[in-house]
Structure 1
Amino acid sequence: MNWNQMQALVPAPGQAPDHARCLEAFPVLEQAKTTPQEPRYHGEGDVWTHTCMVVDALLQSADYLAATPQERGVLFFAALLHDVAKHRTTVVDPVTGRIGQPGHSRKGAVDARILLWEAGAPFALREAVCRLIAVHQVPFYCLEDARRPVSPAWTVHELSWQLDIRLLAALAEADMRGRICADQARVLDSIELFRELAREEGCYGAPKAFADAHTRLSYFRGADVHPDYPLFQTPGSKVTLMCGLPASGKDSWVREQRQGLPVVSYDDAREALGLKHGENDGKAAHHATDMAKALLREARPFVWNATHLSRQMRSKALDLCYAYGAEVQIVYLEQPRDELLRRNGKRDTTLSNKALLGMLHRWELPVPSEAHEVRYEVEGAAA
């Protein structure tokens, strides 16, 4: 089913969802019918039963009725796919029999991204859906979990730079109403307190205001700064950190937009060392990192050109840049699936299309809180 057909699944206010058509659009959800859940939190049973209850609860909510058509699309697909990864993350404790699905939110965001990308969903809508799925349970415990290393206020500040907290709260409420559990009322109260905190902090439906980009980045990286007062920025390198799947156009973009700047590249490092793709990646990474350190020490501007697909991989490069006081702009590039594979098939590379698609399980897009600036260079969606 393509995107034109999928968007017709989004119910208008007062309209009932077509669950059969939803399964036709996303066949992977058939596995939800046989995926068990911990009865303590899900007395309703399997994941598909829960998903249907969540969608129904969402459609009856005041948030959905008041939403714009685009917001309704985001909320509907987020509710439909919020537990899409539970079938592949389910573990059963051999001693107690307790059922868990660790990491299902983060992995579900990646799964949803792939499904919607393959269907041709608009970039902005797709990413709004995926960002909601990645953190859809945070409002459950944000104000109560003493083990969290950051304050609830910090959490809503950061989330506000990733998504619309109004929509996150609406999804969390539907998730909780769409289940049978003993602590439902308590968690619904927690979600409402989460809403109130976001309102008090001035980020309910808008990003938290900061004095400037450097203050914002420093705050999100743990510096003891106040959002309203600018933090002095020590002059350092201006780094353009590229991000995107292979064959998405990063090399061409760098040649056209950053002509004349030094380029740190794992591919170039492999070539310099005589390595094939996937051969001794650690040696190639070490070679590239040494070059980056030399440029950072000299406070020279440069481009770090790599896929940087996962947040974990980006963090290694970003941590190094920020340790030297660099100002970083992340540039993310993307192509439609067919165009990406066509381009990769024409390249002189040892990376096959099959291997390229195998990289999708690590496909986590950068979010605005990761750098001084994040640009999304996607056709019709540049920002």
Structure 2
Amino acid sequence: MNTKNITWEIPSVQISYPLDWNKIESEFEWLSTLKTIPQDPIWHQEGDVYTHTKMVVETLLNFNDFKALSPNEQYILFLSALFHDIEKRSTTTTEIIDGVERIVSPNHAKKGAQTVRSLLFEKYNTPFKIREHISNLVRLHGLPLWAIDRDDPSKEVIKSSLVTNNKWLSMLARSDVLGRICDDKEDILYKISLFDELSKEQNCWDKPYAFASNYGRFLYLNRSDIAPFYEPFEDLTFEVIVLSGLPGVGKDTHIKKNYNDFPMVSLDEIRRENQFDPTNAKHNGKVIQMGKEEAKVLLRKKVSFVFNATNLTLDLRLKWIRLFLDYKAKVKIVYIEKPLKEIFLQNQQRQWVVPEQVISKLSKKIDIPQYHEAHEIEFITQ
């Protein structure tokens, strides 16, 4: 993701040293709640999550590598550090480990990434590429600490390079370690250095791994017997275009402009034609079943077609994509996104208006399509 030539910043928060933490807390009201969230003293002798977050951010700003970044790149990392433990506030609990009560925060990075995405989309209208870098850095901030212990460390660094910058990820991880008080810093920093060397070895240190083809990338990400440099012969003879995006974002318009000659399976059309109630679970089950039957007719004929639905979550998309793959279809996801205010405006101009509160609720559940899901992904964003 190239962030150059993008100018953006959070209102009232400037990156200058020393940081004005009163102003930062004023802008991010959730930050003060971290003062009451404890951490396990084995890993965080400094105390609560707020104290740790401040130490991480201030450590990051003193890195020479950070100072060498462009202003936009600095902002991405600054906000990633600020947000990296945001959901320890909702996930922190205690559990008994080896007979001892310990403080744990399971899945705080994954949940935090979703919170960050929603906040930056809804409140700050953050440019898509910048927002996704921040969200993915939050989600993956622990990766450099444990990647080397995975069954296939090379695949871990290659996968992360597709969604963010491994060099930035390493900087965030180092600041996370140096911005705490613990007894095993050197061991953890050594693991991060191995992550760095592995990323460089795979030629994805400060850029995405360059696959020979989209098909090769898809096979590599979904199979354990494929080398990343493998260039397969593509034997897929027809294509299914899977639309993904909020109601009112312009999926129908995009289809008319680009795929008007393609047959289309549309869950909304099935629902409207049969006067099914979208709030009725039984009716929605019938819509899905009828959609599958329509799709299977086209799949058996190996005819390229468009599958038009919101398809906002990973689980929903994969249920359909697995069906398409079973018939040897090439799958392309087209994800469309616009600022929320623009979506609300376009929604009001549609024949079939969706309540704004429904769109807002859906926006908090979005899983941005990932490269393991389909042979090709197109992002159409503003």
- TM normalised by structure 1 equals 0.90
Question: Is residue 334 from structure 1 mapped to residue 337 from structure 2 by the alignment?
Answer: yes
Structure 1: how far apart are the matches of 2:18 and 2:373?
39
Q: Secondary structure at the match of 2:170?
A: helix
- Decide whether the 8 Å contact of 1:105 with 1:133 is kept in 2: yes
Paired amino acid for 2:232: L
- Aligned residue in 1 for 2:106: 102
Alpha-carbon displacement from aligned partner over 1:21-67 (angstroms, at most 9, x marks no partner): 22222212222122222222222222111111110111111221221
Q: Which one of 37, 42, 45 corresponds to residue 44 of structure 2? A: 42
- Decide whether the 8 Å contact of 2:145 with 2:192 is kept in 1: yes
- Decide whether the 8 Å contact of 1:309 with 1:362 is kept in 2: yes
- Aligned residue in 1 for 2:28: 26
- Decide whether the 8 Å contact of 1:333 with 1:378 is kept in 2: yes
- Aligned residue in 2 for 1:325: 328
- Decide whether the 8 Å contact of 1:242 with 1:308 is kept in 2: yes
- Decide whether the 8 Å contact of 2:218 with 2:371 is kept in 1: no
Shift of 1:227: 2.7
- Decide whether the 8 Å contact of 1:246 with 1:344 is kept in 2: yes
Structure 1 segment 126-205 matched on structure 2, within 5 A: 126-145=131-150, 150-205=151-206
Instruction: Label 1:230 to 1:39 Cα distance change in 2 as closer, same or farther (>3 A).
Output: same
- Decide whether the 8 Å contact of 1:10 with 1:76 is kept in 2: no
Alpha-carbon displacement from aligned partner over 1:161-199 (angstroms, at most 9, x marks no partner): 111111111111111111122222211111110000010
- Decide whether the 8 Å contact of 1:43 with 1:179 is kept in 2: yes
- Aligned residue in 1 for 2:127: 122
Structure 2: how far apart are the matches of 1:5 and 1:256?
34
Structure 2: how far apart are the matches of 1:29 and 1:282?
42
Q: Which stretch of the first structure deviates more once superposed, 135-144 or 206-215?
A: 206-215
- Aligned residue in 2 for 1:62: 64
Q: Which stretch of the first structure deviates more once superposed, 167-176 or 3-12?
A: 3-12
Alpha-carbon displacement from aligned partner over 1:205-238 (angstroms, at most 9, x marks no partner): 1222222111111111115222333212222321
- Aligned residue in 2 for 1:302: 305
- Aligned residue in 2 for 1:209: 210
- Aligned residue in 1 for 2:80: 78
- Aligned residue in 2 for 1:353: 356
Q: CA RMSD in A?
A: 2.1
Structure 2: how far apart are the matches of 1:360 and 1:210?
31
Alpha-carbon displacement from aligned partner over 1:4-34 (angstroms, at most 9, x marks no partner): 661663425xx22222222222212222122
Q: Which stretch of the first structure deviates more once superposed, 132-141 or 362-371?
A: 362-371
Structure 2: how far apart are the matches of 1:68 and 1:285?
47
- Aligned residue in 2 for 1:252: 253
Q: Which stretch of the first structure deviates more once superposed, 129-138 or 303-312?
A: 303-312
Structure 1: how far apart are the matches of 2:83 and 2:132?
13
Shift of 1:367: 3.0
Question: Is residue 282 from structure 1 mapped to residue 309 from structure 2 by the alignment?
Answer: no
Shift of 1:346: 4.2
Structure 2: how far apart are the matches of 1:326 and 1:26?
46
- Decide whether the 8 Å contact of 1:219 with 1:226 is kept in 2: yes
Paired amino acid for 2:332: Q
Q: Which stretch of the first structure deviates more once superposed, 265-274 or 210-219?
A: 265-274
Paired residues, number: 371
- Aligned residue in 2 for 1:316: 319
Shift of 1:302: 0.9
Q: Which stretch of the first structure deviates more once superposed, 356-365 or 249-258?
A: 356-365
Structure 2: how far apart are the matches of 1:322 and 1:10?
48
Percent identical: 34
Q: Secondary structure at the match of 1:321?
A: helix
Unpaired runs of 5+ residues, structure 1, are none
Q: Secondary structure at the match of 1:93?
A: strand
Paired amino acid for 1:207: P
Shift of 1:313: 2.0
- Decide whether the 8 Å contact of 2:165 with 2:205 is kept in 1: yes
Q: Secondary structure at the match of 1:226?
A: coil
Question: Is residue 293 from structure 1 mapped to residue 303 from structure 2 by the alignment?
Answer: no
Q: Secondary structure at the match of 1:98?
A: strand
